[in-house]
Structure 1
Amino acid sequence: MEQLLLLLLPKGRLSVHRVQLRLLPIVAAISAFLNNTPVVVIFAPIIKRWAESVRLPSTKFLIPLSYATILGGMCTLIGTSTNLVVDGMVMDAGYQGFTMFELGKVGIFIAIAGIIYMLLFSHWLLPDSRTVEQTTELSSKDSRYFRVDVVLGARFPAIGKNIFDFDFKRKYGATILELRRNGESFLMHDMRKVSYREGDTLVLLADEEFLTNWGDSSFFLMVSSNRGVVNTLSRAKRWVAVVLVALMVLGATVGELPAVRSAFPKVHLDMFFFASVVTIVMAWLQIFPARKYTKFISWDILITIASAFAISKAMMNSGVAEAIAAIAIRLTDNFGPYVLLAFIFIVTDCFTELMTNNAAAALTFPISLSIAQQLGVSPMPFFVTICMAASSSFSTPIGYQTNLIVQGVGGYRFADFVRVGLPLNIISFLISVFLIPIFWPF
């Protein structure tokens, strides 16, 4: 991905519009098949360094980068963990789950409209610059030390603690130079009353040992140095990894075809099957080291998914979902399922801006199922609406990890996300409510 990005970025200075036109469609296509967070983690620092080198404001590219990954994730079953969560709850409720590209019937239209919107309007809506590098001149004479930017994740052990109450240097072997939050910059002498928060960006003076020990730690959403990424894999193994991922997606897509299912009735040739095969082959070829076999598993996402199932089941069994559904139906009188579809989108979208998208989907899924059952209509339009709405996290930086990452890297303020993201939420809402009933009739 790093090599692809370097090819996409122009060698000379181009207009912001033309650079976005080269980047955003490719980023969206990539994130349809890969986790959004690592795409942003790899691309954001490179784009920022490139923008500074050609004297363009990086603020014009980083929020669009995050939004493009979100839009791409809407288009496939594996584009975001939320789609997998909803798919699991759909099958648990006794319905047939989504195929690999089924959600793309609507997701692709939202993605295209969203990219066009950013190409046309983001240049005016985004700030020209956020100059927060007021302290990043490194005075160390030791060449072993260099600048590293890290974005704090929810699992960072000092979240909520005062900065001076947690010995960061002793724990991680790096010195804090600066803390950035919501477009503001705090120097060490300004931090006496500051506590760590999720999404904070720390500018560190660190060495290679820090990158080795903490470069892929779950404590940090992003670890980026001005030295770039060093590839430890051979060129052949890198190409093998790319081919294996492509074969995984192709295999899962073909395995869902009716002819293939009838030919192999006793074997479930689904995404889990092919992902397992690819993982085993990658381990056998030593594409990733044995000591990291379990490190690449997103345990927090798996726990969230399990919790989502539990929340959904509890709401169904307790009657809470049925009661909320009855109230919603009464409030809309005789307007029918279309208004309720809009209601589900708005509620899910509001939840996803304030909490994780998986939790938002878990809360609204049982309500949607109860609404469909009480109306006597197909629940599939409601399920697809949840997928689209839960991913439409554009208006706040706290609703999606990639937004938090680019907020710190670009020095954005909360209002920047509202100004650019709210129209994108409205675009997603209108397209979803109009198209979903066409592809999945009530």
Structure 2
Amino acid sequence: MNTEILITLVILLCAVVFYSTTWMNMTATSLLILAALYLSGIVSVSELFVNLVNSSTLLVIFMFIISGSLLKSGASAFIGNCLLWHAVSEKQIVMRLLLLSMLLSAFFSNMATAAVVATFAVGIAKSNKAYRLPKMTMSIAVGSILGGMLTIIGVSGNVMVRTFLEEAGAGTVGFWDFGKIGLPLCITGYIYMYFIGYRLSPSQSVTESAINDTEKQDNVYRKGQCIFTLMVFASVVICMMLENIIHLPIHMAAFFGSLVLILSRTVTEKEAFSYVNWPTTLMFASLLTLGAAISKSGAAPLISDTFLRLFGEETNKTFILVVFFVLIVIITQFMSNGATAAVFYPIGLSVAQQLNVSPVAALMMVCVAAGSSFATPMATPLNAYLMSVSGCRFSDYMKVGVPLLLLTTIVCVILCPLIWRIG
């Protein structure tokens, strides 16, 4: 193990410890990660802050502004009240938000889905204090992640599967092929959240969250402003859903939506900046930089290569793929799911060729494993965003996510070899 890999793994360990405890605040931890990566020479100056303008980071910033405008106009409370229709318990609301998240994330970015649906959840929590925001946002996180596995456009990593397969001349996958494993996972996730996940979700009252952050604002319902804001919001959502047709990236759709709100003075300049959770934004950037450093240093390939050397040619092929799946599931909890997918797709293709198994089956298992980012806030930007919105703790994600990881792993290792024949 070379020095760069060792230093990167130490920084990763420190990031996990500091983000999961109260030893150091979020901003200090994020800055410390960037400082350590730079001082160690792993990341150059030109690479250090590049993720502050990453598309995911920009999407979060602009969605904060749009969400703030929905709160200010009373639109989020209005939609939240619609979701409350005929609901008699908090659990019903949680499950409705879960289903809505699954449906939306199947057709556009799970990060955008989380940001959109979280706005509704905040509106519900503001209108009825009996409904706890942490429980609602945890279901949104699970639904947004699982729903992204239903179609080829659900997550950017899904499209990469087809690209790698076609470039290698190993076949291809269609729009709904992901649903063959995505739908069973969504059903499993729904059952889990209904019977187990809901009880494990954080039940504490929200203290420092978007609810309290917006209490100072004038949240009186304004009909005209509410309608206009909803129109802008709907336009942004439609553009996100049609991203591959109109060729407008989702973060640019959010940008233009924010621009319209500011130009129309629906949101003032001061309000736009106040709506953005800057500690969360900085955390996004630092974790994306750390994920890139893990790939650059060779830490992830080293782990996988070491893993493959542990098995001989006589070892059962399915067993090797299952262990490989579990390895990726573990790594993706501490590394951006997009970066994890990018690192392990070529490795998975190589493993499939060496074992003489179906490349489609191998890459689909890699895709699902890399996307199973339930257990930590750093596994995917949407988890970190929802943590900042709801006041959830690092340990809350572990409590809900680890059992769900075990369930999804069992479902995948049973169904993937059956759906896409290994031999």
Q: TM-score band, normalised by the shorter chain? A: 0.5 to 0.7
Residue number in structure 1 paired with 2:371:
391
Cα deviation, residue 102, structure 1: 0.8
My pick for the range that moved more, 232-241 or 392-401, is: 232-241
- Residue pair 1:352, 1:360 contacting (<8 A) in 2 also: yes
Q: Deviations over 1:392-440 (max 9, x none)?
A: 0011111111111221222111111111100111111111111111111
RMSD, matched Cα: 4.1
Write the distance in 2 (CA, Å) between the matches of 1:290 and 1:49: 22
Write the distance in 1 (CA, Å) between the matches of 2:89 and 2:201: 15
Aligned to 1:77, the other structure's residue is in SS state coil
Residue number in structure 1 paired with 2:5:
none
Kindly indicate whether residue 159 of structure 2 is the aligned counterpart of residue 84 of structure 1. yes
Cα deviation, residue 290, structure 1: 10
Cα deviation, residue 355, structure 1: 1.1
Instruction: Name the CA shift for 1:204/1:289 in 2 (closer, same or farther; >3 Å).
Output: closer
Residue number in structure 1 paired with 2:107:
33
Residue number in structure 2 paired with 1:112:
187
For residue 121 of structure 1, the aligned residue among 193, 196, 208 is 196
Q: Deviations over 1:16-57 (max 9, x none)?
A: 222223332222011100112222222224313413425222
Kindly indicate whether residue 359 of structure 2 is the aligned counterpart of residue 382 of structure 1. no
Aligned sequence identity (%): 26
| Larger RCO, structures 1/2 (Cα 8 Å, 6+ apart) | 2
Kindly indicate whether residue 51 of structure 2 is the aligned counterpart of residue 51 of structure 1. no
Write the distance in 2 (CA, Å) between the matches of 1:322 and 1:405: 31
Residue number in structure 1 paired with 2:352:
372
Q: Tell me which amino acid in the other structure corresponds to 1:103.
A: F
Instruction: Name the CA shift for 1:8/1:28 in 2 (closer, same or farther; >3 Å).
Output: farther
Residue number in structure 2 paired with 1:136:
none
Q: Tell me which amino acid in the other structure corresponds to 1:62.
A: T
Structure 2 regions of 5+ residues with no counterpart?
1-74, 263-283
TM-score if structure 2 supplies the norm length? Answer: 0.62
Kindly indicate whether residue 416 of structure 2 is the aligned counterpart of residue 441 of structure 1. no
Write the distance in 2 (CA, Å) between the matches of 1:236 and 1:49: 17
For residue 64 of structure 1, the aligned residue among 139, 142, 145 is 139
Write the distance in 1 (CA, Å) between the matches of 2:405 and 2:164: 24
Kindly indicate whether residue 311 of structure 2 is the aligned counterpart of residue 353 of structure 1. no
- Residue pair 1:385, 1:436 contacting (<8 A) in 2 also: yes
* Higher share in helix: 2
Pairs within 5 Å for 1:146-157: 149=210
How many residue pairs get matched?
313
Residue number in structure 1 paired with 2:170:
95
- Residue pair 2:164, 2:346 contacting (<8 A) in 1 also: no
Write the distance in 2 (CA, Å) between the matches of 1:25 and 1:291: 29
Write the distance in 2 (CA, Å) between the matches of 1:290 and 1:20: 32
For the pair shown, which has the larger CA radius of gyration, 1 or 2?
1
TM-score if structure 1 supplies the norm length? Answer: 0.59
Write the distance in 2 (CA, Å) between the matches of 1:415 and 1:432: 25
Write the distance in 2 (CA, Å) between the matches of 1:228 and 1:96: 54
Write the distance in 1 (CA, Å) between the matches of 2:90 and 2:246: 38
Residue number in structure 1 paired with 2:91:
17
Q: Tell me which amino acid in the other structure corresponds to 1:35.
A: S
Instruction: Name the CA shift for 1:324/1:236 in 2 (closer, same or farther; >3 Å).
Output: closer
- Residue pair 1:325, 1:370 contacting (<8 A) in 2 also: no
Write the distance in 2 (CA, Å) between the matches of 1:109 and 1:346: 18
- Residue pair 1:348, 1:389 contacting (<8 A) in 2 also: yes
Cα deviation, residue 326, structure 1: 8.3
Write the distance in 2 (CA, Å) between the matches of 1:32 and 1:373: 30
- Residue pair 1:24, 1:115 contacting (<8 A) in 2 also: yes
- Residue pair 2:333, 2:374 contacting (<8 A) in 1 also: yes
* Higher share in strand: 1
Instruction: Name the CA shift for 1:355/1:11 in 2 (closer, same or farther; >3 Å).
Output: same
